Amino acid sequence: MEERRKCILKTRLDKIVITVVHILMCGVYLFELLVILPRIYEDSSSVGKNLHIVAGTWILFNAIASLWKFVLVDPGTGSLILPSMLKPGWRFCWKCEANYPPRSFHCFQCEQCVLVRDHHCIIGSNCVGYRTRRYFHLMAFYMWFALLYANLLNMDFVWELFHSFGSKTLLTMFMPLLAWIFGVAEGETLAMAFFSSFCILAFLYGTAVILFHIRNTLKGRTTHEEAKGLGAKYNLGLTENMKSTFGNNWKFAWLSPLIPSPMPGDGLTFVEKELLSQCGKNL
Ligand SMILES: [Zn+2]
Ligand SMILES: [Zn+2]
């Protein structure tokens, strides 16, 4: 059972970041809906246009639902009872004053130890850990997919912008504030240039982020384990690695953050690759 965090978005910066993320996500959605789609489909009742609206709304809903699931779910130990005796491979956290299992680390922003801690994500101000990694990955995937979709829809417009503006295009697209100050572009063109350039830059950054996390997911390791070269022993093969990120229902869990998909194990004990292969040999 997922436990809610007691306190979310504690600082003013957390609230500003999540507000800006919502404005950008909804801004791109409205830009595609109100500016780009009418340019592609002049007939407002076109089937193609309506299919794009349904697909875009589904992507936006999943991105926002994944973000809020990530914000709300407790990445720590919740109501789990931790042992009072220090077990082999475990460590004592002086901040939490409790014993914690392997793969857990203390997060100074969340002010608690987090099971299978990956990293603290500034979007949503929460740790990516045992209970939250599914929602972080879905959030990253749907945001990236939304940008890919938007860039494909924007292609003709961006091409047109390059041809109609010539040398001033780069300034308008990548430094819209300067373009506005120098009067190179204004009004609707400026807004269109801002959103289309944002989609390109955010997509490039998002692609690098998502490739890094996909690689870690496929190898069954966290960002910390990747950095320290420690993750090999938890690499149990594709199916088990996918389950450890997306839950037991991993084949369908990626379709929506609202699909139930319980996480395997308890986040305290882990099957290691060597033990698994030894068991296989003994059978
Ligand atoms: Zn701690
Ligand atoms: Zn944290």
* Catalytic residue set: 121
Query: Quick one: pLDDT band at residue 23, thresholds 50, 70, 90?
Result: very high
C-alpha to C-alpha distance for 87 and 75, rounded to whole angstroms: 22
For 116-129, what is each residue's pLDDT tens digit?
A: 999 999 999 999 99
Tell me the ligand closest to 82's alpha carbon.
Answer: 1
Tokens for 218, please give them: 């496929």
For 269-283, what is each residue's pLDDT tens digit?
A: 888 876 666 665 555
For 150-181, what is each residue's pLDDT tens digit?
A: 999 999 888 877 676 666 676 776 777 777 77
Q: How far is the CA of 111 from the centre of ligand 1 (A)?
A: 7
For 138-147, what is each residue's pLDDT tens digit?
A: 999 999 999 9
Tell me the ligand closest to 74's alpha carbon.
Answer: 2
Averaging pLDDT over each range in 6-15, 35-44, 192-201, which range is the top one? 6-15
Percent of the chain with pLDDT over 90: 66
Beta bridge partners of 114: 105
Per-residue confidence (pLDDT) for residue 271, from 0 to 100: 84
On the question of pLDDT at 105 being above 70, the answer is yes
C-alpha to C-alpha distance for 251 and 7, rounded to whole angstroms: 32
On the question of pLDDT at 247 being above 90, the answer is yes
The residue-averaged pLDDT of 6-27 equals 95
Q: How far is the CA of 154 from the centre of ligand 2 (A)?
A: 36
Query: Quick one: pLDDT band at residue 194, thresholds 50, 70, 90?
Result: confident
For 80-90, what is each residue's pLDDT tens digit?
A: 788 888 998 89
Q: How far is the CA of 92 from the centre of ligand 1 (A)?
A: 8
- Following DSSP, what letter does each residue of 109-160 receive, concatenated? TTTEEETT--EEETTTTEEE-TTTHHHHHHHHHHHHHHHHHHHHHHHHHHHH
Q: How far is the CA of 94 from the centre of ligand 1 (A)?
A: 7
Q: How far is the CA of 118 from the centre of ligand 2 (A)?
A: 9
Percent of the chain with pLDDT over 70: 90
Tell me the ligand closest to 105's alpha carbon.
Answer: 1
Tokens for 195, please give them: 């959103």
